[in-house]
Structure 1
């Protein structure tokens, strides 16, 4: 039941991100997958609907923190954990993104959107947070 609810929340987040991104989302059988592999494409498909395309965040039906200039992104551990497990209004995405996709979007948000934090992460680093 928990995974079913998470999938519904994830699908709703994708739909709220825009029609184009919803069309990019593929559901096959009982497992949902996101076909994008590049950090920017993943961000645009599932993150920008709440955190905004420029990463400035939003307040409305919920509060979505800014990723731009967010010092919590200085180390990769924090965003990796939140992407996998979720927090408050953010659904857990660990069942929908593989380790390489998580690393890719984390690198994107840490090096773009007005951020320029040092270092990259890779897929081998992600499992410790699962």
Structure 2
């Protein structure tokens, strides 16, 4: 390799190494500081809204309107099926069709909270709060 090519190669390697370091710093800076992975694969969120956003919104959408694409994710908004609290509890605990189960990742209080949130938001106004003991009985 002649001298100019060698110098150009060294300069290119130095430039690429510098870009790599800067990229790593930018990625670290842009990483959300509030993102946490729940210990033991259990959800740590407590409120129904936080649990909905962590578990349901990805498929059923933040507004509860559902989605279609790679799969069919039914709307929870204005959905009369959501009135039947045991139906919603069992779906959260054990899953349904393509929906995963969350019974192993949520305790009874968390399941009750997310079910109550779903039953009282998105145009749903169903009476009667779900209790942790109701969830426990359907596990």
TM band (smaller chain): 0.7 to 0.9
Please report the TM-score for the alignment, with normalisation by the length of structure 2. Answer: 0.73
Partner of 2:60: 51
Deviation at 1:36, TM superposition (A): 0.3
| Residue 81 (str. 1) matches residue 93 (str. 2) | no
Cα root mean square deviation, aligned: 1.6
Where structure 1 has 5 or more consecutive residues not aligned to the other structure, the ranges are 1-18
Structure 2 distance, partners of 1:77, 1:85, is 12
Deviation at 1:54, TM superposition (A): 0.3
Partner of 2:36: 24
> Is the 8 Å Cα contact of residues 57 and 65 (structure 1) preserved in structure 2?
yes
Partner residue of 1:70 out of 69, 79, 82 = 79
Structure 1 distance, partners of 2:87, 2:101, is 14
> Is the 8 Å Cα contact of residues 51 and 57 (structure 1) preserved in structure 2?
yes
Deviation at 1:75, TM superposition (A): 2.1
Where structure 2 has 5 or more consecutive residues not aligned to the other structure, the ranges are 1-30
* Number of residue pairs the alignment of both structures matches: 108
The runs of at least 4 aligned residues of structure 1 exceeding 4 Å deviation read none
Structure 2 distance, partners of 1:70, 1:24, is 32
Structure 2 distance, partners of 1:102, 1:115, is 18
Structure 2 distance, partners of 1:78, 1:119, is 14
Deviation at 1:64, TM superposition (A): 0.3
Give secondary structure in 2 for the equivalent of 1:128.
helix
Which structure has the greater CA radius of gyration?
A: 2
Deviation at 1:88, TM superposition (A): 1.2
Structure 2 distance, partners of 1:25, 1:80, is 24
Structure 2 distance, partners of 1:25, 1:106, is 22
Bigger share in strand:
1
